[in-house]
Chain A
Amino acid sequence: MKSLPLIFLGVFFTLAFSWTGIVLTTHMQMRDLTPATAELVNADDEPVAGRQFMVDGVNVKNTDGMTAYPLPLVGEAQRGKLVYQEMGCLYCHSQQVRRAGFGADFERGWGNRQSVARDYIEQDRVMLGTMRTGPDLTNVGLRYSELWQYQHLYNPQITSPGSTMPPYGFLFEVREVSSMRGPSPDAIELPEAYHPGEGYELVPTQRAKDLVAYLMNLQQDYELPEMKFTE
């Protein structure tokens, strides 16, 4: 092994091999995924059984009158995703439900069907996550109320004593209750021990509202042609 061109070619092709496989092939495999309704129909609007995407060489289509999923994020929720990203939530929370029998994702109530590639096609930044220092968040929007989310973000000990999640107090503002207008409609209810005191209230900043809007939007509560509930 003395020749630069030979080593170079070997080094080039080994990496080209994995790039072609892992990146390029999966890209080609998935680039045509579009939002889909739970049931598909053929060209004559007859329901297609099973997971077929082609019948007699013709693409099957979405059923009229049903919603095609996944839906894109809009407005506050879209901005909230940026807050999720800048706070590094990804390093402790996953957003993927594994199939029944592999881990205990179903039993912990994190989802009632496995997450599939189509669930993520509308996301401009996919954050599947590789840690569960905290629970999976795929369906967190289905599991808790907005109030719970605000209290939990402000100080996780309020809702989850012993949690190691950081408090995000800096996303909230403690201020004096206005004598003119009375309490703010946004003010967060807090238990006695965490209340800022008589005459004061805790109000979420816009970033906290965005983040909660995003969390409330995390829901895989729809079926896809390739994945039904409890599969």
Chain B
Amino acid sequence: MSSNPSIIDSLKPSGDPDVDLRVRLGEVDASMRVPAMLFLVSAVMWLLAGTAFAMIAAIKATNPDFLGATEWLTFGRVRTAHLNAMIFGWGNNVIFAVAPWIMGRLCRARIRHTNILLAAGVFWNIAVTIGIIGILKGDMIGVEWLEMPAYVTPLVVLTYALVGVWVIIAFRWRQSDHVYVSQWYLLAAFFWLPWLYTVAQVMLIFEPANGVVQSLTNWWFAHNVLGLWLTPIALAVAYYLIPKVLGRPIHSYYLSVVGFWALALFYNWAGVHHLIGGPVPAWVISAGTVASVMMVIPVIVTGINHHLTVVGLHKEGWASPTIRFVVFGAINYTVVSLIGSTMALRHVNEVTHFTHFTVGHAHHGVYAFFTMIMFGAVYYMMPRLLFREWPNAFLIKVHWWMCGLGILLMVFALQIGGWFQGLQMNALTEDGTPVYTFLQTVENTKPWLWARSLSGLMLLIGHVAFAINVYWMIFSPRTQDKVTQPTLLTETTEQA
């Protein structure tokens, strides 16, 4: 390199290709250490805050007088604070920690100028904090998934740009010939979200569209936050970690290509299934229903690909915290997506629409799929960034069992309860009067909502166990030094 490096040279993040791969991955890890820790610690704190909001909202759903006199904790606000804390506080922070790191590793490109990522981390957390305070004090915007007041928009856009640019730079100066499936997903996601967000902000908040075009834009955006942001990132992580930990390449390159493009093509039309039966043009509902059903293709293809990669290695997988969480998430991706496709059918939707079934489905996707995979990623990433092992295997087990069983209980309770709620809401006697009064249907959902609160408590315990482990790992080297082997959950043959 010349003595006077150009701007391009100083941006160029790739390492020396002659050096051993492990050393170069170590360089990537070292470059991401500080920003990833900032994002991760913030993510865990938002996870706890979001769980606290969730518990308050869950109790209020059966006992409306609980904290009923406090305006800023009224159900509509605290429930919205919960959603925003989880998606934008926990979800995006953990993505900003994991995604550039995986991209860097796959491209063998160090993340340079990490001060910019650190600044992004600070901006992001300020934005979410102001946004949630805004929601609680009554500045919320009446658009689902876009409730954070318009005054945080500039900070949000700035952060997406500052983080996204490193993902793209790493990819541009990649040093491997082959481009792995995780890289497509990450690249696509970091392009899709800013576009979705910008269009939604303009058409809903700064220059609101006419009438129900708002609702269509709303669900185009909100469903795609799930489908074109959380989903591709979680799939990228699964595609990266499953082969990595199990030491076996992904089963089929071609299946991953089909899965990727089918998802890109179909998922972004699916969102309008939230408006089935609503006052919008029938053709757009039909298109959304068709796309939702077509999602079966990428889901099955990805499911088969993951399954055939893991098959036969279940015992090894069970020992690894990473694989337990990631495989749980990958299985639930298949299940939740197939349920979602079914829910888009008009006659199923007639029952499930407007009920707790949908709430159960949302948690199934965002938690049992996305969040569980991100937990797995954190279990893999932190030891490599900090050169330390996880201090306590028991806490990992508590985290695993509480969150795994907790989320299953939640999904069962809300979906079974929601299904009955929908049937009772629609049930008519022969002379065309409702069989159940509205208040009877409300009464009948209460036991299921109690079960949901119980499942929330289990998740809370799991999250606290996780947070303690993360805290010990970062801030308590003494607890830490006792562990020298990778922390596994069962004994492997090697150790035995």
User: Interface on A for B, CB 8 Å cutoff?
Assistant: 1-2, 4, 7-8, 10-12, 14-15, 17-19, 21-23, 25-27, 29-31, 33, 84-92, 94, 96, 98-99, 102-104, 107-108, 114-121, 123-133, 135, 156, 160-170
B134 to chain A, nearest CB (A): 10
Q: Check A30–B434 contact: CB distance below 8 A.
A: no
A119 x B281 contact (CB < 8 A): no
User: In the assembled complex, how far is the CB of residue B166 from the closest CB belonging to chain A, in whole angstroms?
Assistant: 15
Interface residue SS majority, chain B: helix
Contacts of B350 in A (CB 8 A): 102-103
CB-defined contacts of B179 to chain A, threshold 8 Å: 1-2, 7
The chain B residue sitting closest to A170, CB to CB, is: B71
Chain B interfacial positions (CB closer than 8 Å to A) = 60-62, 64-65, 68-71, 74-77, 79-80, 138-144, 171-172, 177-179, 184, 187-188, 191-192, 195-196, 199, 203, 208-217, 220, 224, 228, 257, 261, 264-265, 268-269, 271-272, 274-275, 277-281, 284, 287-288, 346, 350, 353-356, 358-359, 425-428, 432-434, 438-439, 442-443, 446
| Contact partners of B139 in chain A: CB under 8 A | 86
Checking B60, B65, B140 against A86 with a beta-carbon cut-off of 8 angstroms, the contacting residue is B140
How far apart sit A30 and B69, CA to CA, in the bound complex (Å)?
43
In the complex, the chain B residue whose C-beta lies closest to that of A171 is: B71
B220 touches A128 (CB 8 A): no
Q: How far is the CA of A114 from the CA of B284 in the complex (A)?
A: 18
A84-B216 Cα distance, complex, nearest whole Å: 21
Task: Say yes or no: A121 contacts B354, CB within 8 Å.
Answer: no
With CB as the reference atom, state the residue of chain B lying closest to A31.
Answer: B210
- Do the beta carbons of A1 and B184 come within 8 Å of each other? yes
Q: Are B77 and A1 in contact (CB under 8 A)?
A: no
Nearest CB of B to A2, in Å? 5
From B213, B269, B277, B442, contact of A27 by CB (8 A): B213
A-B contacts, 13 of them at CB < 8 A, read A1-B184, A10-B264, A15-B224, A19-B199, A26-B212, A30-B212, A90-B76, A103-B350, A104-B426, A121-B211, A130-B144, A164-B62, A166-B74
Q: Nearest residue in A to B172 (C-beta to C-beta)?
A: A4
Additional pairs, 20, CB under 8 Å, beyond known A7-B187, A27-B209, A166-B68: A2-B177, A8-B187, A8-B191, A22-B269, A22-B271, A25-B284, A26-B281, A26-B284, A84-B142, A85-B141, A90-B142, A96-B278, A96-B279, A116-B279, A117-B211, A135-B438, A163-B439, A167-B68, A168-B74, A169-B68
Chain B positions within 8 Å of A130 at CB level? 144, 274, 353-354, 358
Q: Is the CB of B74 within 8 A of A162?
A: no
Q: A23 contacts which of B75, B140, B187, B220 (Cβ < 8 Å)?
A: B220
Cβ of A90: which chain B residues have Cβ within 8 Å of it?
Answer: 76, 142, 144
Taking a contact as CB atoms under 8 Å apart, the answer to whether A88 and B209 are in contact is no
B65→A15 contact, CB < 8 A: no
Bound form: Cα–Cα A34–B354 in Å = 29
In Å, the complex CA distance between A96 and B285 comes to 15
**Which residue from A85, A89, A123, A168 sits with its C-beta under 8 Å from B211?**
A123
Q: Of B60, B79, B228, B280, which is within 8 A of A26 by CB?
A: B280
Q: Of the candidates B64, B188, B434, which one forms a contact with A164 in the assembled complex, judged by CB atoms under 8 Å apart?
A: B64
* Residues in B neighbouring A31, C-beta threshold 8 A: 210
Across-interface contacts of B432 in A (CB, < 8 A): 107
Q: How far is the CB of A109 from the nearest CB of chain B, in Å?
A: 9
Asked if B199 contacts A23 (CB within 8 A), the reply is: yes
Note all chain A residues with C-beta closer than 8 A to B191: 8, 11-12
Q: How far is the CA of A99 from the CA of B225 in the complex (A)?
A: 30
Q: Which 5 A-B pairs have the closest CB atoms?
A: A88-B76, A132-B354, A18-B268, A85-B142, A86-B138
Which one of B64, B178, B210, B426 lies within 8 Å of A103 (CB-CB)? B426
CB-based contact B269/A98 at 8 Å = no
Least distance between B244 CB and chain A CB atoms (Å): 20
Known A-B contacts A10-B261, A107-B428, A108-B434; A166 and B358 likewise in contact (beta carbons under 8 Å): no
Which A residues are CB-close (under 8 A) to B70? Answer: 170
Question: What B residues does A17 contact at CB under 8 A?
Answer: 265, 268-269
With a cutoff of 8 Å between Cβ atoms, the chain B residues found around residue A132 in the complex are 354-355, 425
Q: A86-B140, A108-B434 are in contact. Are A117 and B80 (CB under 8 A)?
A: no
Cα(A123)–Cα(B71), bound, Å: 26
Closest to A138 in B: B279
Q: When the two chains form their complex, are residues B79 and A91 in contact, meaning their CB atoms are under 8 A apart?
A: yes
- Across the interface, which residues of A come within 8 angstroms of B184, CB to CB? 1, 7
Residue of A nearest to B268 (CB): A18
| Cross-chain contact of A89 among B76, B196, B272, B279 (Cβ < 8 A) | B76
Cβ–Cβ < 8 Å partners of B195 in chain A: 15
Query: In the complex the two chains form, what is the Cα distance from A14 to B270 in whole Å?
Result: 13
Q: Is the CB of A88 within 8 A of B75?
A: yes
Contacts of B178 in A (CB 8 A): 2
Report how far A124 CA is from B211 CA in the complex, Å. 7
How many angstroms from the CA of A168 to the CA of B358 in the assembled complex?
26
* Cβ-defined contact, A128 with B278, below 8 A: yes
Asked if residues B80 and A21 are in contact (CB atoms below 8 Å), the reply is: no
**A128 and B354 in contact, given A27-B213, A88-B80, A120-B211 (Cβ under 8 angstroms):** no
Contacts of B438 in A (CB 8 A): 108, 135
List residues of chain A with CB within 8 A of the CB of B79.
88, 91
Of all chain A residues, the one with the shortest Cβ separation from B195 is A15
CB-contact partner of B434 in A11, A104, A114, under 8 A: A104
Query: CB-CB < 8 A to A102: which residues of B?
Result: 277, 346, 350
The answer to whether B426 touches A18 (Cβ under 8 A) is no
Residue contact A117 to B69, C-beta cutoff 8 Å: no
Q: A103 to B353, alpha carbons, bound, how many Å?
A: 9
A88 surroundings in chain B (CB, below 8 A):
74-77, 79-80, 140
Cα-based distance from A206 to B428 in the complex (angstroms): 41
Contact of A121 among B187, B210, B277, B287 (CB under 8 A): B210
Interface centre among A4, A128, A161, A165 (most CB of B within 10 A): A128
Bound complex: CA A1 to CA B358 (Å): 36
Residues of B close to A108: CB separation below 8 A:
434, 438
Please give me the residue from chain B that is nearest to A98 by CB atom.
B277
**Cα-based distance from A118 to B213 in the complex (angstroms):** 11
Q: In the complex, what distance in Å separates the CA atom of A121 from the CA atom of B209?
A: 10
* Chain B residues within 8 Å of A84, by CB: 142
